Structure 1
Amino acid sequence: MSIHLTRRELYEMIWTRPMTKVAAQLGISDVALHKICEKHRIPAPGRGHWAKVAAGKPPKRVLFRDVSDPLVDRILIQGSSAAKLPPEVQEARAKVKAEREKRQTKPPLPAQSGQSDHPVVARLVKKLEGAKADKDGFIRLTDPKLFAMTISPAAAARALVIAERLMTCAEARVCRFDSDPGGLVLVADGESMTLHLVEQTEKVRHKPTDAEVNALRKWEADRVRRQQRGQWFGDWDKPAIPEWDYVPSGTLVFELDRGGGWDGLRRRFADTKRKHLEDMIDDVFDGALVIATARKAKRAEDARRREESEKEAQRRREAERRRVLHQKRVEVLDAQIEVFARASQIDDFVEDYLARHPYLDLPESCRRFIDWARGYAEALRRTASPETLGAKLDAHQLMDDATEIHSWVRVV
C-alpha cells in the first residue's frame, strides 16, 4: 500500500498525534517515520512533548518552513507488507506474541554442549569432529538427518548448543523435525519448512600471498619480453588478486523457510548486541507457527480464487451456450420466415398473373406452369408444417433451455 503525502500534511499528523500512532496508521515503524521526517526536513516533537501535553502544558510547535524542492515536498510511504496479511495470520502473530510475553520459563540449557542424549545431537557431534572446512573457511553440512549448516569451525560449539535447544524446545512446542535431502526440516502445525544455520561473513582487505605476488610478477615480466619482441599480448590471462576477502564473522543466523517470499513475515533470526541466537529459539518456533498459519491461509485463498475463477469461467460458458442456442433458434426462425415469404410471393404472382390472363385462355404450357407454381408453394408450406418443424426442433433439442450445443453447423 503506497501513501502519498506532502510535508505539510505529515507535519500536521505528527504534531496532532504521537508518532507511534501515526506510524501504525501509515503501516510503518516509528523509527522509519523519524527517518522520513529527517529526510524531508520536517520538524518533529521532541522527547517528553506528549507527556507535557497530557499534563496540560503543551509546548509550542516548531515552526514549519516551506521548501522549494518539489522532490523534498512530496513524500511516498510504502506501507509494510505485514499490514496486508490476512486477518488469521495477523491474529496468529498477535497470539504468539502474547504467549511469548506470558512465558516465564525457557528450555533448559545443557551444562556442556554435546552432552545431550538426543541422537541428532550425538550425530552432529561426530559430524563436526570429522568435518573439514572448505577453502573459504566454512563447514557445510547437508546431511538428511542433521540441520543444514554453513559455519566456521570456531562456531561449532555454539551450533551444538543451538541444536540441543532446538530439540528441547521442539518437544515443548509440539513440533518435530523430519529428514530431507538438504537437511532436517521443521514441521510446525503440520507445515514443513527448511531451517538453515548460517554464519555471516565480514569483508576484510585481502593480503596478497607470496604465490599471488610471484605469479603477477612473472606475468608482467613475460609481457615486457613480448613487447620487446614485437609480439601480441593482452590482459586476459593476467593473474587477478582480489581486493577483499570474505571471512567468517562469528555472527550466526537462522534462515527459516528459505525462499518463502516477501509477505512481511519474519524468516531470519540473527545474533544482535543484546541477544544471541541461542536465546531466540522460542522466537524461531513462534515464527514457524505464524508461517504455517500464513501458508494455510494462502492455500485457502488460492482455493477460493480458483473456485471463483471456475465459477466465472462457468458463467462465461453458460452465457456462450445461451447465445449459441439463441442464434440457432433465430436461424430456424429466419429459415421459416423465408419459406413462408417465398410461398406468399408465388401466390401473389399466380393471383396477379391470372387476374391479367384468364386461366382457360392460357396456352397449355402456361397452364401447366401455373399449376406447378401452385404446387411448389404448397410444398414450401409443407416443409414448415408443425410435424416437420417439430421434428427438426426435437432433433437438435433447440427448445430445451438446458440443451448443450456442440456444433456451430447450421440447423437448417
Structure 2
Amino acid sequence: MPAELTRRELYEMIWARPMTKVAAELGISDVALHKICDKHRIPAPSRGYWAKVAAGKPSKRPLFRDVSDPLVDRIVIQGSPTAALPPEVKAARAKAKLDRERRNVMPPLPMPSSQDNHPVLVQLAKKLEAAKVGPDGFIRLSDSSLFSIVISPACGARALLIAERLITLAPTQACRFVSAPGGLQLVADEESITLSLVEQTDKVPHKPTEAEMTALRKWEADRERRQRRGNWFSDWDKPKVPVWDYVPNGILAFELDKGHHWDGLRRRFANSKRKRAEDMIDDVLAAGRVIAAARKARHAEEARRKQAAEEEARRRREAERRRVLEQKRIELLDAQAEAFAKARRIDAFVEDYLAKYGYSELPDSCRRFVDWARGHAELLRHQASPERLGAKLDAHQLMDDATEIGSWVDVL
C-alpha cells in the first residue's frame, strides 16, 4: 500500500533514526529516500551523522521550514512490491541470501565433469551439434528432456557448461529438474518452475541483401510502368526490407517462471561486467527457491479465499433456506388465522341476523342460507383443527428447522 506523509512527518522520521531503517520500513532504498527528501526540500542527516551521535559528539539538527506549495508538502511513497510479500516469502528470501553469503566464504564446490555419464548432458551435446541454425542465427531447443535453450552456435560450449553446473549444484540447494513440455523445469519445495537460457541480441541497422535489392528494383520498375500507362497502383505489394537486424551478442540470460508477475521478485539473470551467466548458478537456484515459496504462499492464499467464498456461499444458501422456510410457515399461519377470523365473522353475522329477524320468521331460502353459513363457518374451523394442521405440518416438515423447501411449494 502507498504511504502518504507530510514533510513534517518524514522530517521527524529521518531525524529520529537512520535513513536506511526508515527506507526499509517504507519499502524503498536509502538512495530513493534521499531523492524524495531533495525533491520535497526536507533537510536530511549528512553522512556520518549517526556515527557522531553514537560517539556522543555534538551534532546540529537543521530547522524545519514550512512551504506554501501543497504539492510539495504531500508525499506519496509507493514502495517496492516486495514489501507486501507474505512473511514466509520474506523468510525464504532472507534464507537464500544468507546461504549465498555463506557459500561465498566457503571453498568452491568441485565441479565434476558429468558430461560423460549424465544422460541430459550427453543428449544436449548431441542436440546442439546436430541442431539447425534458424534464419535469425539461433538454435532453439525445447525438448521435454532437455533444458529450454535459445542460443547461437558460438555459445554451445557455454550452454553445456551451464547445464552441467545446474545439474551438479541443484541438489545442494534442495532443487532438482524434471521433464515437462517445453523443457526441463526446476523443482523447489515441490513447485515446478520454468527455466530458460536465452542469448540476448543487439539491434543493428539492416544491410539489404542483393536479392532484396533486386526484388525492390523490380517492383519500382513495375510501378513506373503502371504509372506511365495511367494504371492504378498501390504499395501493398512492395517488398518488405527490414530496417533492423537482431544479432546474437553472446550475453546469456536465465529466465525463471515466465509470465507476468507483480510481486517484485527477480526472475531474470543476465551477464554483467562483473559476473557471467556461468557464475550465476547459485543465484538462479536461490531465486527458484524464493519463487517456489512465493507460489506456495499464493496457492495457500487462493485456497483460503476459495474456502472463504465457499463458506460465504454456504451461509447465503442457509440464510435463503431459513427465509423460505419462515415464509412458508407464515403463509400457513396467515391462512389458518384468516380461516378462524372468517369463521368468527360468519358466526357474528348469523347471530346478529337472527337476533334481528328471528329464525322462524325467515323465508325458507333465508333459513337454508343461514344453515349453510353455519356449516361453512364450522368447515373453516375444521380446516384449522389439530388433525388437519398437523397433517400439513408433517407433510412438509415445516416445524423441522433443517427442512429444505422450495419457494414454489404450496403448503396451504
- Normalised by the size of structure 1, how large is the TM-score? 0.90
2:108 aligned residue (76, 96, 106): 106
CA shift for structure 1 position 198: 0.7
Matches of 1:221 and 1:38, distance apart in 2: 63
Change (3 A) 1:8 1:404: same
Query: What 5-or-longer segments of structure 2 have no aligned partner?
Result: none
The residue type paired with residue 288 of structure 2 is: A
On the 8 A contact 1:52/1:59 being kept in 2, the answer is no
Aligned to 1:142: 142
Secondary structure of 2:409's counterpart equals coil
On the 8 A contact 1:43/1:64 being kept in 2, the answer is no
Q: Does 1:347 align with 2:347?
A: yes
Any idea what the Cα deviations from partners look like across 1:359-410, whole Å, max 9, x if unmatched? 2222333222222221221121111111111111111111111111134233
Query: What 5-or-longer segments of structure 1 have no aligned partner?
Result: none
The residue type paired with residue 150 of structure 2 is: T
Matches of 2:359 and 2:372, distance apart in 1: 14
Change (3 A) 1:43 1:171: same
The residue type paired with residue 59 of structure 2 is: P
Matches of 2:243 and 2:68, distance apart in 1: 43
Q: Does 1:280 align with 2:291?
A: no
On the 8 A contact 2:89/2:293 being kept in 1, the answer is yes
Matches of 1:241 and 1:65, distance apart in 2: 61
Matches of 1:206 and 1:71, distance apart in 2: 48
The residue type paired with residue 404 of structure 1 is: E
Secondary structure of 1:360's counterpart equals coil
Matches of 2:109 and 2:262, distance apart in 1: 31
Matches of 2:66 and 2:364, distance apart in 1: 112
Change (3 A) 1:203 1:58: farther
On the 8 A contact 2:173/2:286 being kept in 1, the answer is no
- Aligned ranges 1:290-369 → 2 under 5 Å: 290-369=290-369
Any idea what the Cα deviations from partners look like across 1:31-87, whole Å, max 9, x if unmatched? 43345456666665444344344442435649869586x766654322222122211
Secondary structure of 2:136's counterpart equals coil
Computed over aligned residues only, the root mean square deviation of the Cα atoms, in angstroms, reads 2.6
Aligned to 1:30: 30
Aligned to 1:246: 246
Change (3 A) 1:46 1:239: farther
Aligned to 2:263: 263
- Normalised by the size of structure 2, how large is the TM-score? 0.90
- Aligned ranges 1:363-382 → 2 under 5 Å: 363-382=363-382
Among the aligned pairs, what percent are the same residue? 68
CA shift for structure 1 position 12: 5.1
Aligned to 1:89: 89
On the 8 A contact 1:107/1:168 being kept in 2, the answer is no
On the 8 A contact 1:136/1:247 being kept in 2, the answer is yes
CA shift for structure 1 position 206: 2.4
Aligned to 2:212: 212
Aligned to 1:168: 168
